[in-house]
Amino acid sequence: MINVPFLELLPAYLELKEEIDDAVSRSFATGWYIGGKDVELFERNYAEYCSAKHCIGVGNGLDALAIALTAFGVGPGDEVIVPSHTFIATWLAVSMTGASIVPVEPDEGTMNVTPHGIASAITAKTKAIVPVHLYGLPCDITAIKDIADAHEIPVIEDAAQAHGATLEGNRVGSFGTTCCWSFYPGKNLGAFGDGGAITTDDDAIAEKARMIANYGSRKKYVHEVIGVNSRLDPVQAAILNVRLAVLDKWNERRQSIADRYRLAFRNAEFEMQSIPTECRSSNHLFVIRHNDRQGWANDLAAVGIGTQIHYPIACRDQGGYIDSNLPLTPIASKLAAEVISLPIGPHMSPEQVDAVVHSVVALENVD
């Protein structure tokens, strides 16, 4: 029996061991452990990769969202539109500003928020819209931006899972919005610890975000606004510079596995995430919906196939929000009861991919 863990991080290091070890050694040898040239280089490189004017490295993806929202002036009394079905960081960032969350239900096929849903949720109090490219699949950001522009509302994309994903051939991060990223180790572009970034074409927002992330300061010991301490460490930036160079290649490996799964499972009774023809997912996660999720997961575990759930409890049903007066989100709750993720990653061996395919096909009794 071939064991297929849901996630393995070590192979990503081993493939680039020489380059990463060298980059880390050089970073340590600078004697500069906050900011510095490694961070500046990564910010330039990632801004260029995203076709954005600015990149501001921060401590993690949640910080990126909260700082971006704050830079746009979001605060108490404001409303921020977010997907109901997402990782909770999207919601937490809004709560950190003191603004009110306005959840919008997703399309059940793509599991992404829709332009129509967002348009129907806009009020006079809407201060920002935070769409999410869930599991690496781009939402319809062009239509969402058109709606937002018509109401003069900023769009802050949560692209924590969508490094390198494209819509109509254009990478996420290149649509003229402010975009927030996570470099958590399991991401397509992952650090060896926490990390995050904000990309934007807006000079004023970039300057404000950088200031907020540095204790509210542009000049040492002069603090113009209330800020936080959120930095991308130089050693993580050095590692990210190495890994950015292979991001597209590793995404292609993910795509080939996703293609194999989709072909093999085309007649299965479960539902795979719908991928619009104009989209190319980063395939950060391969998520299906199953009406007997736990039984299915147990059967796969019995033959050595790891699975995970993204995410088992809808944000509205979590402890921090369950007693709130927010509207119920039945579609998000339904998805939370059905979704399950299969292993996918650039370092899965052909034998591991075969094992997943054969095990799922056998369980589903399909050809």
- Active site amino acids: 187
| Closest to 85 in 3D by CA, of 314, 247, 317, 269 | 314
The two three-digit tokens of residue 329, written as one number: 């989100």
Alpha-carbon distance of 182 to 197, in angstroms, equals 7
Amino acid at 228: V
Asked whether 218 and 235 are in contact (CB, 8 A), the reply is: no
Alpha-carbon distance of 260 to 27, in angstroms, equals 40
**HEC string of the chain?**
CCCECCCCCHHHHHHCHHHHHHHHHHHHHCCCCCCCHHHHHHHHHHHHHCCCCEEEEECCHHHHHHHHHHHCCCCCCCEEEEECCCCCHHHHHHHHHCCEEEEECECCCCCCECHHHHHHHCCCCEEEECCECHHHCCCCHHHHHHHHHHHCCCEEEECCCCCCCEECCEECCCCCCEEEEECCCCCCCCCCCCCEEEEECCHHHHHHHHHHHECCEEECCEECCCCCECCCCHHHHHHHHHHHCCHHHHHHHHHHHHHHHHHHCCCCCCEECCCCCCEECCCCCEEEECCCHHHHHHHHHHCCECCECCCCCCHHHCCCCCCCCCCCCHHHHHHHHHEEEECCCCCCCHHHHHHHHHHHHHHHCCC
* 223 φ, ψ (degrees, to nearest 5): -115, 105
Asked whether 136 and 160 are in contact (CB, 8 A), the reply is: no
